[in-house]
Amino acid sequence: MATMAGSGYGTIENAALLVDLENKITWLGPDKAIPVEADPEQELDCHQRWITPGLIDCHTHLVYAGNRSDEFEQRLQGISYADIARRGGGIQSTVRSTREADFEMLLDATVQRASILVGEGVTRIEIKSGYGLDLDSERRMLQVARAVSGHLPVKVHTTFLGAHALPLEFSGDPDGYIEHICTSMLPALAADGLIDAVDGFCESIGFSTMEIERLFRRAQQLNLPVKLHAEQLSNQHGAELVARYKGLSADHLEYLDEPGIRAMAAAGTVATLLPGAFYYLNETRLPPIAGLREHAVPMAIATDHNPGTSPVLSLLTCMNMGCVLFGLRPDEALAGVTRHAAKALGVDHLCGTLQPGKLAELAIWNIDQPVDLVYSIGQNPCDSTIQKG
Ligand code: DI6
Ligand code: FE
């Protein structure tokens, strides 16, 4: 068992784990040391497989309609992501398709995508809105995200990403759109209980730090935690901003600088690395891994699954990319999709490591050692997951 508690993998050989009827871990250790008074109602023999915490994909845009493979082809011909966005493609293209899609179509597509992640050991997923950009469409996206856990053994955390792009109705008026988000969309969707956290796209082709700060102030009034797409394509000092609001995470971070790292370290904000987007955009600027390590900023890894910059549906592949492209150690990659991903969702007191008192959200693997999880691409060593008992 790799408990992922403490440093390294937290390995226990020939491990056993006791779970109560509320799906809480009550004890774990070497099987020879199982307390004599334990008299389990049900036993599951994992036959020498490895057990890890269930994997957590803490940054996804799983709900959307349409297809953007044509843009992939254009990028391969040398047109940049930012240029495609300026020509009305990019996020706007997915907004058009998503607004037209009804609840059932979106739910079908989302459950299909989520089931691929779950089949690779994922037991929790964060899902963002942000392809609706009007109240009804954003609500539908969040309702779809919430409905996923009724179809699969996975827990879903919903994030409101109304500040993803400027909808055409507000063309040339970002202030008006932020105002609309703050006075209408955000409070209404929060009142519907559809928002676990608030996110934004802080970028020259997204929203400025001043605009994002207005959003964060409103989120704070509503007691909603914040996170941010920051320093992906340029350094906008978004990481410092989200750290000032004690944000859960700053995500992407290729252009993060030293003050940003220090601010995140002081605030306890997780650095969520998204190597899938780095890979698909052929980015060459690496996130400052050495600086993040030096300042002990917890690093999570997520798929950022979306139809534009990261159409990858494999968290294991992203762990491999985190190692090969970003230079993470395999144990850091596994911590990035367990302990640190749980912290990025604000649920590290509940899951992300195997420890007494935490939930028994487990992944069971056909591997010889934990490094096998990141070693190969395209093999799926997941035997099964346990979620909700
Ligand atoms: N950064 C990203 O990588 C995605 N959103 C964002 O803010 C891209 C979303 C898309 O291209 O559809
Ligand atoms: Fe994203």
- Domain membership of residue 8 (yes or no) is no
Q: Which of 80, 81, 201, 281 to mutate to test the pocket of ligand 1 (most atoms within 8 A of CB)?
A: 201
* CATH number for position 39: 2.30.40.10
Q: Which of 64, 81, 282, 306 to mutate to test the pocket of ligand 1 (most atoms within 8 A of CB)?
A: 306
- Domain membership of residue 267 (yes or no) is yes
Which atom of ligand 1 is the closest one to the Cα of 164? 7
Question: If you take atom 2 of ligand 1, which residue's CA is the nearest one?
Answer: 309
The parent domain of residue 236 ranges over 55-344
| Residue 101 sits in the same domain as residue 238 | yes
| C-alpha torsion sign, points 86, 91, 93, 95 | negative
Q: Which residues pair with 160 in a beta bridge?
A: 198
- Domain membership of residue 279 (yes or no) is yes
Which atom of ligand 1 is the closest one to the Cα of 161? 7
| Residue 49 sits in the same domain as residue 184 | no
| Residue 95 sits in the same domain as residue 149 | yes
Question: If you take atom 7 of ligand 1, which residue's CA is the nearest one?
Answer: 201
- Domain membership of residue 96 (yes or no) is yes
> How many residues does this entry show for the chain?
389
Q: Starting from the CA of residue 280, give the closest ligand.
A: 1
Question: If you take atom 11 of ligand 1, which residue's CA is the nearest one?
Answer: 308
| Residue 35 sits in the same domain as residue 60 | no
- Ligand 1 centre and the CA of 91: distance in Å? 7
Distance CA 99, CA 120 (A): 30
Q: Which DSSP symbol is given to 246?
A: T
Q: Starting from the CA of residue 72, give the closest ligand.
A: 1
| Residues of the chain where predicted confidence (pLDDT) is lower than 70 | none
- Domain membership of residue 9 (yes or no) is no
| Residue 209 sits in the same domain as residue 326 | yes
**C-alpha angle 306/308/312, rounded to 5°?**
50
Q: Which of 164, 205, 303, 305 to mutate to test the pocket of ligand 1 (most atoms within 8 A of CB)?
A: 164
- Domain membership of residue 7 (yes or no) is no
- Ligand 2 centre and the CA of 10: distance in Å? 30
**C-alpha angle 19/22/26, rounded to 5°?**
35
- Domain membership of residue 302 (yes or no) is yes
Distance CA 240, CA 247 (A): 10
Q: Give pLDDT tens digits for 72-126.
A: 999 999 999 889 988 889 999 999 999 999 999 999 999 999 999 999 999 999 9
- State residue 69's pLDDT score: 96
The pTM is what?
A: 0.98
| Residue 237 sits in the same domain as residue 285 | yes
Distance CA 186, CA 282 (A): 34
Distance CA 224, CA 247 (A): 10
How many domains does one find in the chain? 2
Which pair of tokens denotes residue 229?
């797409």
- Ligand 1 centre and the CA of 11: distance in Å? 37
Q: Starting from the CA of residue 277, give the closest ligand.
A: 1
Query: Taking the C-alpha atoms of 205, 224, 148 and 181 in order, what is their torsion angle to the nearest 10 degrees?
Result: -40
DSSP H helices in the chain: 69-76, 81-86, 91-100, 103-118, 135-147, 174-180, 186-191, 209-221, 238-244, 258-267, 275-280, 289-294, 315-324, 330-336, 339-344, 372-375
- Residue written as tokens 């597509």? 109
Q: Which of 59, 60, 61 to mutate to test the pocket of ligand 1 (most atoms within 8 A of CB)?
A: 61
| Residue 42 sits in the same domain as residue 72 | no
Which pair of tokens denotes residue 294?
């030096």
- Ligand 2 centre and the CA of 200: distance in Å? 9
Radius of gyration of the chain (CA): 20
| Residue 123 sits in the same domain as residue 191 | yes
| Residue 41 sits in the same domain as residue 172 | no
Which atom of ligand 1 is the closest one to the Cα of 91? 12
Which pair of tokens denotes residue 26?
């009550």
Q: Report helix, strand or coil for 284.
A: coil
- The string of DSSP letters for 298-339 reads -EEE----BTTTB----HHHHHHHHHHTT---HHHHHHHTTH
Question: If you take atom 6 of ligand 1, which residue's CA is the nearest one?
Answer: 201
| Residue 34 sits in the same domain as residue 132 | no
- Ligand 2 centre and the CA of 328: distance in Å? 21
Distance CA 2, CA 13 (A): 9
Of 140, 14, 6, 118, the closest CA to residue 65 belongs to 140
| Residue 296 sits in the same domain as residue 360 | no
- Domain membership of residue 10 (yes or no) is no
Pocket-forming residues, ligand 1, beta carbon under 6 Å:
90-91, 94, 164, 201, 229, 232, 277, 304, 306-309
* CATH number for position 262: 3.20.20.140
- Ligand 1 centre and the CA of 182: distance in Å? 21
| Residue 124 sits in the same domain as residue 256 | yes
